[in-house]
Amino acid sequence: MCYHYALTADKPTLEERYTNELIAEYDAIYHNDGFSHRAMPVITADEPGKIQLYEWGLIPHWFKPKPGETDAKGNLLTAIQQARAFSNQTLNAIGETVFDKPSFRNYIGKKRCLIPANGLFEWHHLDAKTKIPHYIYLKSKEIFSFGGIYSHWADPDTGEIVKTYSILTNPATPLMARIHNSKLRQPFILQRDAEGTWLDQEINKDSVKDLILPLEDTHFTAHTISKLITSRKESSNTPEVMLPYDYEGFVSLVEDEAA
């Protein structure tokens, strides 16, 4: 699955890439952890001429908090706290079942979006305890777009409209399977010339399904990174998190580099 990615492009670069205006303040993010529900740039089918900020982790418009709901310590949870707890389960939507699942089927038809990124992070499992983090990106080092869906949810406590998204996933390609060998999944990444079609609200269900395919390995490369990405003492939202780091005895999983 995909729970970690980077968007290091600055505002002018992002606006030039999508020929759209970023309508909110935004700082480059070197490590975006989905469980932080950070607001990130998104281009929606409803307003394709804008780059807006949406929170990662889709909250369906129909989500209803439970009165009196408490956390493990007995503290009363607000509506938004309950909604964000729910959204921990909707960071990703499986591409093969997105038309069927209750949390997603209302959005895949008309509420599709592009999520800009420079790269993503995944872990290779050597054994049950040892994981090697990788940074995966286009060989061109250009911005690419995850394919996603989005929702607007009204917080009943405040009336605030909370805008959220989910990233679709595909079965892993050979490169992704070698790296992310515990799940054999990868985020759905669009060909650049298919981005406009993904946002087209007039295309039918079969045309949408035809788009939800893995992008070929020939576009990608990857390298191992340090375990700063999982540090509890230092911030991982720093350029250093993306730098190559060698692990003794570990052979590259990128075939053209390992040959």
- Tens digit of each residue's pLDDT, the chain (259 residues): 689 999 999 999 999 999 888 888 888 999 999 999 999 999 999 999 999 999 999 999 999 999 999 988 999 999 999 999 999 999 999 999 999 999 999 999 999 999 999 999 999 999 888 999 999 999 999 999 999 999 999 999 999 999 999 999 999 999 999 999 998 999 999 999 999 999 999 999 999 999 999 999 999 999 999 999 999 999 999 999 999 999 999 999 997 544 3
Would you put residue 213 in left (φ > 0), alpha (ψ -120 to 50) or beta? beta
Determine, yes or no, domain membership for 75: yes
Determine, yes or no, domain membership for 159: yes
Determine, yes or no, domain membership for 241: no
Determine, yes or no, domain membership for 177: no
Determine, yes or no, domain membership for 180: no
- Both structure tokens of 65: 């908090």
User: For strand 21-22 and strand 50-56, is the pairing parallel, antiparallel, or unpaired?
Assistant: parallel
Measure the CA–CA gap between 94 and 197, rounded to whole angstroms.
20
Identify the domain containing residue 22 by its residue range.
Answer: 4-123+142-171+187-216
Measure the CA–CA gap between 90 and 116, rounded to whole angstroms.
18
Determine, yes or no, domain membership for 228: no
Say how many domains are in the chain: 1
CATH number where 28 lies: 3.90.1680.10
Determine, yes or no, domain membership for 63: yes
Measure the CA–CA gap between 107 and 62, rounded to whole angstroms.
12
C-beta separation of 94 from 108 below 8 A: no
